[in-house]
Structure 1
Amino acid sequence: MKNTPPLQRDPAFRAAFQAHELENRVSTGKVAALLVAVLMPFGATLDWAVYPERLAFFGWIRLGSSVLACGIWYLLTRPWGIRHHRGLGFATAWLPAICICWMIYDREGPASPYYAGLNLILLAISLVVRWNAVESAIAVGGVILFYLATCMLHGPWDRLDGRFAANCIFMVETGIIVVVGNHFFNRLRQRDFATRYELAQRKQELEAALTRLREAEAQLVQQEKMASLGVLSAGIIHEINNPLNFATTNLFALRKKVAALPAAEQAEIDEILDDIEDGLVRVKNIVSDLRLFTHPDSGDLESVDLGEAVQAALRYLSGETPDSVQLEVRVPPGLAVRANRNKLVHVLINLVENSLDALRRKSFQGETPRIRITAGTEKDRVRLEVWDNGPGIAPEHQARVFDPFFTTKDVGEGMGLGLSICYRLMQECQGSIRVQSEPGRYCQFTLEFPTPSSQPDLQPGTHA
């Protein structure tokens, strides 16, 4: 074992190699069985040339061997045969050897030229099947013993002359070559498999590393977008807030003035004022959303019970959730993350609201609208998934859903800041958010947080 390479001592590698060898052994065993089934009857042409008087008898022997070989092939296609492939392999090698020895016994014994057929079997053991040295030695030894027993039973002993000795020596030498060749060929196969196995492992590692790099690149690009938006938003908020306050104050004063007008005129003006107030409220909401980008460090991080945060978000949306929507929540009790509770609830509300909007846009036939919220741990990360069976997101839009002001909704239904805010809030919690969707079937947002124990302690006023 000291000279065994470390990889070949790895249990995973050994299991993979054994599975690979089993597949090859069964495959080559089938080939060997088919060769016996075809070549044994074909040998009748040799019988016609050498022993025409025994053509019929030898023909029955060859036909029986061929039928048995077909049976072995069939067994190798079944689970039982695969489990006993080694024994069936020996049977495949010894079946034609027994038939040839029978013919040798029936004719001249050691003087029969059919001894050459046994060398063909030894050649097949070397070239066709995938055996190790021990298995090859057993198969070769069996063939040689059959020949020795046949010649001794045929007798007389005085006919076991130099030709018999030469035949035995040639068969033994051929057998040694077969065993040694299979031994080194088996080692070569193992090295080749080890090389391919190691390359496959390296490929998987490189693909995983490339995936992580692409995700990191996407995160960095998104962070740059958020930083640029934050700088822009700070100026916009300052410029909008002052005239917005003036307009709100004057609207209040205007409503007081309208109260003194006749009732008929009040109804028409109140409708106009309501429209103005709706517009101002909408502007205030946009400013409020933009403010989240300009104050990324507000709010301390703490250990937050994920189940409680999910329930708080669902309670907030209880009035907006139709009875037709099936809500499934599977969050392990006591599962905690390091986050700001209010911001986490804000993210969950936003994602569930998006799911509800998506379900309203899909026509369900024979399927129940569903939203599923699940959570669990993976190593030092906590994963929360919000899934719905709505219309999903088109592939060309998935890379942009976290961009500020990107939306596929109609005008007036949203500014396209919701998911951008979710992205920013997850960054503040040292977490991440990503989307996975199949148009027409589902959409899933995955939030990942470090567990509280895996994050460094944060002092008050210090945030991720």
Structure 2
Amino acid sequence: MAPSAPAARGNELYAGYQSELADFRLAFSRGGAYTAIVLVLLGVGLDYGQYPDKQLPFAVARIVVSLLIAGVIVALYSNAGRRFAPWLTMSWLLLPQIMIAWMISQTEGVESPYYVGLNLAIFASGIALPFGLWQNLVFGVLSYLLYAAACLLHSGGVEPMGTFIVNSLFLLFAAAASGVYTFFNERARFMLFRLKAEVADKNTELEVINRKLVDIKGQMLQQEKMAAIGTLAAGLLHEVNNPVNFCLMAIEVAMEEPVTKNEPGLQECLVDAKQGMQRIQHIVSDLKTFAYRKPGAEVEGTPFLFEKALDSSVRLTAHELRGVKVTRELPDDTLVMGDEAAIIGVLINLFSNAALAMRKAGTQQPAIHTTVKWADGRLHVNVRDNGPGIAPEHLARVFEPFFTTREVGQGLGLGLSISYAVIERHGGVLFAESELGQWAAFSFDLPRAE
């Protein structure tokens, strides 16, 4: 049975803590070992002050112990050092304790001042070193056993007994206190680690929220833009249609006049004027899709001919597509379900981006080819240009809101992110492909109208 999400998270947190603790213990052990060498060697001054007659053998002992600790340090830097760090740490800690126990046996036994060194090492292991509870307790017990052995090996034995008992109790108290320190230090370290993990999780959540807010901001900007276009288009329908119709009627009348029929140049001018007016009619007709669209609404499943949307987008971007060869490959049936105005907006964005990129790169014989085909009940559309392509480091980011390679003031970097959201609302995916210096292509799919 798979563990629950909280349990899995707890196991992951504990494993992460153990890994970080192992690194911490390894680094601390190395630092503590260096410190131990310094303290052991500085003890020469204590030897000189207390037992000048034993200075030479004690100095030799200190040098030997320092060299052995140095050997442990070398081991701590090896590949096996991380795995055996707790045992290596225990070994270099016990080396000075063994030395001190020997010094106790060689001096005054129970009443030797070197006894203090054993206590200091026990407290240091609990307060400073990141030992585990059981490791610290074992170290404390071993330190006491070394003291007891040193006293027994002394020529005077364990006399005076009262001093031996007091010193023994102090050593055992130090071991117990050190264990308590270790326990609470361990808890404090784990709580700190957990707090850091929680902060990291919160930061990740904030990043996700920020990305969502950016997406929402982009969608709101798109909604406002579409609403503005709709308002403008609704006004244009009434303001432009009437004078355009009046002009067309006047042109038709003028073309029927005998003078016009006898003047080929005049006839040609009137034909051009008529085509220009008809183009305005087409543009106004295309704008109707924006005028009667509800901004921000989800796809309502309105059937429309993709071919018609493609024609509209080409006409609406005609000024940007000047000099660009625009070709297409369509099936006989292009009836799809969705938001025609939004799809026109997607195509306008793709055509505009392609035209701008090719013009900026100075592409020779610029061309855009649109391939449309049915597959698995959906209409798959591919818009490909022969421009400069998209750099690999930019390809993965083209759909990010506010990401743009244009100069400041030439775009907000929202077009493709909004287009991505539009296609996503239609149950499809908008994705980009490119070969730098050769071509760029954008593909998406739309549902078939039932």
Scaled to the shorter chain, the TM-score interval is 0.5 to 0.7
Residue 429 of structure 1, aligned match among 402, 426, 430: 426
Partner of 1:370: 389
Whether the aligned pair in 1 keeps the contact of 2:399 and 2:417 (CA below 8 Å) is no
Question: What amino acid is aligned across from residue 370 of structure 1 in structure 2?
Answer: G
In 2, distance between residues paired with 1:169 and 1:420? Answer: 74
In 2, distance between residues paired with 1:108 and 1:363? Answer: 96
Whether the aligned pair in 2 keeps the contact of 1:386 and 1:445 (CA below 8 Å) is no
Partner of 1:17: 17
Partner of 1:357: 355
Whether the aligned pair in 2 keeps the contact of 1:293 and 1:421 (CA below 8 Å) is no
1:208 is the counterpart of 2:208: yes
Distance 1:444 1:20, change over 3 A: farther
Distance 1:228 1:153, change over 3 A: same
> What is the Cα deviation at residue 173 of structure 1?
1.1
Whether the aligned pair in 2 keeps the contact of 1:355 and 1:371 (CA below 8 Å) is no
Distance 1:299 1:214, change over 3 A: closer
Distance 1:290 1:184, change over 3 A: same
> What is the Cα deviation at residue 124 of structure 1?
0.8
Question: What amino acid is aligned across from residue 356 of structure 1 in structure 2?
Answer: A
Partner of 1:239: 239
Partner of 2:307: none
> What is the Cα deviation at residue 17 of structure 1?
2.4
CA RMSD, 1 decimal: 5.1
> What is the Cα deviation at residue 254 of structure 1?
7.4
> What is the Cα deviation at residue 301 of structure 1?
6.4
Q: Secondary structure at the match of 1:90?
A: helix
Distance 1:45 1:396, change over 3 A: farther
In 1, distance between residues paired with 2:420 and 2:252? Answer: 37
> What is the Cα deviation at residue 171 of structure 1?
0.7
Distance 1:301 1:234, change over 3 A: closer
> What is the TM-score when the length of structure 2 is the normalising length?
0.64
Q: CA-to-partner distance for each residue in 1:114-156, whole Å, 9 max, x for gaps?
A: 1211111111112111223212112222322333333334456
Partner of 2:284: 287
Q: Secondary structure at the match of 1:94?
A: helix
Partner of 2:406: 393
> What is the Cα deviation at residue 174 of structure 1?
0.7
Distance 1:278 1:186, change over 3 A: farther
Partner of 1:48: 48
In 2, distance between residues paired with 1:72 and 1:359? Answer: 64
Question: What amino acid is aligned across from residue 205 of structure 1 in structure 2?
Answer: E
Q: Secondary structure at the match of 1:232?
A: helix
> What is the TM-score when the length of structure 1 is the normalising length?
0.63
Distance 1:231 1:195, change over 3 A: same
Question: What amino acid is aligned across from residue 194 of structure 1 in structure 2?
Answer: R
Question: What amino acid is aligned across from residue 292 of structure 1 in structure 2?
Answer: T
The range that moved more, 119-128 or 84-93, is: 84-93
Partner of 2:162: 162
Aligned length: 378
Partner of 2:142: 142
Residue segments in structure 1 that go unaligned for 5+ positions in a row: 1-5, 303-308, 323-337, 374-382, 403-418, 436-442, 453-457
Whether the aligned pair in 1 keeps the contact of 2:109 and 2:156 (CA below 8 Å) is no
Partner of 1:377: none
In 2, distance between residues paired with 1:80 and 1:135? Answer: 19
Distance 1:128 1:277, change over 3 A: farther
Percent sequence identity over aligned pairs: 26
In 2, distance between residues paired with 1:193 and 1:279? Answer: 72
Q: Mapping of 1:289-438 within 5 angstroms? A: 289-296=286-293, 300=301, 340=338, 349-360=347-358, 361-362=360-361, 369-371=388-390, 392-394=405-407, 399=412, 401-402=414-415, 422=419, 425-426=422-423, 429=426
Q: CA-to-partner distance for each residue in 1:364-394, whole Å, 9 max, x for gaps?
A: 9xxx943599xxxxxxxxx99769xx98135
Partner of 1:100: 100
Q: Secondary structure at the match of 2:36?
A: helix
Q: CA-to-partner distance for each residue in 1:402-435, whole Å, 9 max, x for gaps?
A: 5xxxxxxxxxxxxxxxx79948955963899999
In 2, distance between residues paired with 1:183 and 1:39? Answer: 26
Distance 1:234 1:31, change over 3 A: same
Residue segments in structure 2 that go unaligned for 5+ positions in a row: 1-5, 304-309, 315-320, 328-335, 364-386, 433-439
